[in-house]
Structure 1
Amino acid sequence: MKLNKKLLASGVLAATLVAGNAFGAVSSEEAAKLGASLTPVGAEKAGNGGEIPAWDGGLKQAPAGYNNDGIYLDPFASDEVKFTIDQSNVDEYADKLSAGQVAMIKKYDTYKIPVYQTRRTATYPEAIMDQTVENATTSELVAGGNGIENYQEGVPFPLPKEGVEAIWNHITRYRGGSVQRNVGQVTPTENGAYSVVKFQDEFTWRASLEDFDPAKDPNVLFYFKQAITAPARLAGNVLLVHDTLNQVAEARRAWVYNAGQRRVRRAPQVAYDGPGTAADGMRTTDNFDLFNGAPDRYNWEIVGKKEMYIPYNSYKLVDRSVSYDDIVKAGHINQDLARYELHRVWHVRATLKEGERHIYGQRDFFIDEDTWQAAVIDHYDGRGELWRVAEAHAMQFYDVQVPWYAIETLYDLLSGRYLALGLTNEENDPYTFGVSRSSRDYTPAALRRAGTR
């Protein structure tokens, strides 16, 4: 899994990264904490003496009955709700919730937070954790924090000192190397009516390409292709993205194939607050995966670490006996199917830089310490008013040792609408990890083939 250590020191990228001083790597003495008092990715190994247990290596074994088919069974199906946070007691627990979660509870008497036993299931493949330990003393931020050098794969900054380092950990986190998934997206009306847009997504990280050559495309981070498969009016449209590691030096490359016009065109709006694909205005491009893309429009601050009730081990939301009608409700998803646990999170605040433009003036990120995945993000408008609340219902893909999302949600407190992305309950072949891909699969010429109706 290791990449050439000279990957980011060669070719065009080296020339573009020299602007600004590099910073981020820690001393070998600090890095020695990884695997000792800290997990290999930088979380506290110890529990809190109460609800949060010590990390014991995570969930690596599939439950009985799992057929290695991407249809994930709940290893904790017998767990019962310990207590529920709702309008009757939300003030008692507000210090362990985000402002957005509190606002959702106060807005909807049906929005509640069922709290379960905390299970620290997160883990990554051993090679990824080993590489993360090495990254601690080599990975450095450059270009004002908008790029990384001397980074291979895994978590670049397991001991973050800057807010932007924690955000890069989320952006670059391991998601299986090369994966194909079939998922649904819904944007219900205020009364809960919805239709499903279906996608076939592919993510392939650079090191997972069959013909990967670090000298040919040194600034690429991963390749992403998204084909719409339903409804019929949108089917055949395809988005292709080459995500760059330094998007300020070299902007994200994106193309769209329009099946109706049968033509491929560049898509420069696939970044920042450009509209999300088939999202009915309910998310921006950088809301995908809770946050993605260049961090350059914001100032990033680590507010601190805290204990917080976040969605976790959300296997009920992928249960094949549960239909989309069971999940999608007016105002929010069916919270009876959600599972929340107490975990430690990094609180990182993003504030829009003076002179920059984005529809979100501030974002408060709450990032799970065990995975570096954003768990909750509160979004504020340009006036400083709380606007949207994102929650990622995480689960451990135990057969491949990948923490990821069962579904991600984005709630609009003003309109009463929301978006839910990643639904798999009614999809065939929901997840296939380890797919074989080469660079020719991610060229603009490949879009027409992918978009054939």
Structure 2
Amino acid sequence: MYETMQKKLIPALCISLLVLTSASFTQAAVSQAEANRLGNSLTPFGAVRSGNSAGTIPRWTGGDTTRPDGYEGTGDHHVNPYPDDKPRYEVTAGNMAEYRDVLADGVVAMMKAYPETFRLRVFPTRRTHTAPDHIAENTRKNAVRASLIDGGNGVQNAFGGHPFPILHGTSEEKAMQAMWNHLTRWRGRWAEREYTEVVVVNGQYRGVTMRQEVFFNWNMEGGSPEDLDNIVNYYLSTVIAPEQYAGGGILVHETLDQVKEPRKAWGFSAGEVRRAPSLGYDAPIASAGNLRTVDDTDTFNGALDRYNWEYKGLQEMLIPYNNFEITSDKYTYDDVLDKQHLNSDLMRWELHRVHVVEANLREDARHLYHKRVFYIDEDSWNIALVDQYDDQGNLYRVTMAMLKNFYDMPGVWADLEVYHDLSKGIYHATGLINESEGTRTFKNEFPGKRYFSPFTLRRRLSDY
């Protein structure tokens, strides 16, 4: 089964995609008085500043910007800043009933499927997320001016920060606003990384190494909503290994309103650059063993128009957080990758408040997932967990994002994402960096939009 899958997925490994996008309704923004809560009772990004009554979630005090001992500079994110932290408790298949209120359904399903090996090591909660001052300032401006348009498939009058730090309106509007905050969340201006992705079948895997470059047009300092030209980001992914596929990849211009103007994408290999017109929604990614759809990438990307959206509220939940250990170069990929999931001994879980958003497929729409439930970290607006259901109502796929703090960004983002297929007992991991020299690097300089032109790309292919 493994070798058959490899034959199918390797030729299409150029479709590894990191994206952002858009979605929501035309509705009034919040009042200035409401927006004044940002930076006071709320963090600058819209989270509740105070901790919980039990003391298990602390007060947000500005995030963590102190680089840990042993940190050697840009791109060195292997260092664990909390080496002395010990688990407070463990959640297993045997005791999960005690913690059911703080467990996502997908986590429970994983414990039931793999009761002997999958468990949660729960560490002290550290609210490490932060962002530059201009992102906080833009977020304050967005709060009183941003609105959803085109039935929720676009945002207007927002730029360079979270468009909806204070969710408001109907349940549907709140849900779409939360998704937009994820799609436009702070991830730096210009980010690069090299990483490996694998499909794990009965403990066997073969790595594909990629180079990724992203310019976040949304976060361009000194810009404005008028400067976006409907482009959220520019994305370029190139295969480095195995050698026979090196130089292939994909170029994406990610549009803000993808219903009005679908994303522009080009695939390239062997000196050829061609348009890729169907890169969206539930198109399968072959290099992920078809365990990841295009709009699964980055836990969710693309248009929201195929689902009905419902906001379920802010809840306390155990989610992967501050996962430095599992991405450390102390370990090999063999250490990290267990048979059906990542090594539970190396994963870190924390109790955080999350926005819970449910998406149900519209009757007139088609998608592989008929229901999706997203768990969005209140501090960073990263989606940490996703439960995906099939057309029979069965929970059969579970996505986990290994969030951690990046001191050079600064802020919280995922370095590693894992997509589990419970029906087959296999999984896909993307973002493995244990056997590479560094992870993401963040830069302020931008080589210009011409760098992401398909015409410029043709000239660069001569390097391979």
| Normalised TM-score (structure 2) | 0.90
The 1:244–1:164 alpha-carbon spacing in structure 2 relative to 1, beyond 3 Å, is same
Tell me the equivalent position of 2:364: 355
Question: Is 1:82–2:95 an aligned residue pair?
Answer: no
Matched letter for residue 180 of structure 1 = E
Contact 1:331 1:418 in 2 (8 A): yes
Unaligned runs of 5+ in 1: 1-16
Q: Deviations over 1:244-296 (max 9, x none)?
A: 0011110011000022xx32111122111112262121100111111111111
Contact 2:160 2:221 in 1 (8 A): no
Question: Is 1:66–2:78 an aligned residue pair?
Answer: no
Question: Is 1:39–2:54 an aligned residue pair?
Answer: no
How many residues are treated as equivalent by the alignment?
Answer: 432
Tell me the equivalent position of 2:175: 163
The 1:315–1:293 alpha-carbon spacing in structure 2 relative to 1, beyond 3 Å, is same
Question: Partners in 2 of 1:450 and 1:57 — Cα distance?
Answer: 42
Contact 1:324 1:426 in 2 (8 A): yes
Tell me the equivalent position of 1:180: 192
Tell me the equivalent position of 1:231: 242
Matched letter for residue 380 of structure 1 = Y
Q: Map 1:6-45; keep pairs closer than 5 Å.
A: 22-45=26-49
| TM-aligned CA deviation for residue 325 of structure 1 | 0.9
Question: Is 1:317–2:321 an aligned residue pair?
Answer: no
Tell me the equivalent position of 1:218: 229
Question: Is 1:299–2:304 an aligned residue pair?
Answer: no
The 1:209–1:41 alpha-carbon spacing in structure 2 relative to 1, beyond 3 Å, is closer
Tell me the equivalent position of 1:148: 155
Question: Is 1:440–2:440 an aligned residue pair?
Answer: no
| TM-aligned CA deviation for residue 429 of structure 1 | 4.2
Matched letter for residue 26 of structure 1 = V
Contact 1:236 1:450 in 2 (8 A): no
- For the residue of structure 2 that corresponds to 1:317, the secondary structure is helix
Contact 2:25 2:154 in 1 (8 A): no
The 1:67–1:86 alpha-carbon spacing in structure 2 relative to 1, beyond 3 Å, is same
Structure with greater proportional helix content: 2
The 1:410–1:440 alpha-carbon spacing in structure 2 relative to 1, beyond 3 Å, is same
Contact 2:160 2:219 in 1 (8 A): no
Tell me the equivalent position of 2:11: none
Question: Partners in 2 of 1:137 and 1:214 — Cα distance?
Answer: 14
Q: Deviations over 1:301-357 (max 9, x none)?
A: 101111000000000022111111111110001011100000000000011111111
Question: Is 1:99–2:105 an aligned residue pair?
Answer: yes
Contact 1:142 1:148 in 2 (8 A): yes
Question: Is 1:110–2:117 an aligned residue pair?
Answer: yes
- For the residue of structure 2 that corresponds to 1:29, the secondary structure is helix
Matched letter for residue 28 of structure 1 = Q
Matched letter for residue 128 of structure 1 = I
Q: Deviations over 1:136-195 (max 9, x none)?
A: 001110000100111111111001132010000000001011111111111111x11001
Q: Deviations over 1:343-374 (max 9, x none)?
A: 00000001111111110001000000000000
Question: Partners in 2 of 1:144 and 1:343 — Cα distance?
Answer: 31
| TM-aligned CA deviation for residue 403 of structure 1 | 1.2
Matched letter for residue 33 of structure 2 = E
Question: Partners in 1 of 2:395 and 2:52 — Cα distance?
Answer: 31
Tell me the equivalent position of 1:6: none
- For the residue of structure 1 that corresponds to 2:274, the secondary structure is strand
Question: Partners in 1 of 2:386 and 2:404 — Cα distance?
Answer: 18
| TM-aligned CA deviation for residue 111 of structure 1 | 0.5
